[in-house]
Amino acid sequence: MKWQGESELDRFSHGCGWHACENSFRGEMPRGWMWLLGYWAKLPEMEFWRIPANDMSCDVCLCPEHVRALDEKLKLREFREAIEQMEESERARLEEIIRREC
């Protein structure tokens, strides 16, 4: 889904949402940056456009430096490493459970 034409998108600068960080980009997000969407829902929502604006608490992007900083705080690295170390069959089973539950 394209939100706007590329030339329209290039007009907007996206700044890192981390306090006091001045990093930004224009146009398409460079690799290493991350969109960060925080919301409340009874269950994870895979179709983000369905989330009511009132239930969104965070809609920002982070630069690579602050993606790493967030990784340190949120146990994301340990979770990723645990997934990578899983056997292929375990990983497939977990993905099936996530697909069914969501």
| Residues making contact with Zn ion (CB under 5 A) | 16, 18, 21, 23, 63, 66
Q: Smallest distance from the beta carbon of 51 to Zn ion, in angstroms? A: 24
Compare residues 14 and 63 and give the one whose CB is closer to Zn ion: 63
Compare residues 9 and 69 and give the one whose CB is closer to Zn ion: 69
Residue with tokens 């981390």: 18
DSSP assignment, residue 75?
A: T
State the alpha helices, DSSP H only, in 11-87.
64-74, 76-85
Compare residues 15 and 27 and give the one whose CB is closer to Zn ion: 15
DSSP-based three-state secondary structure for 86: coil
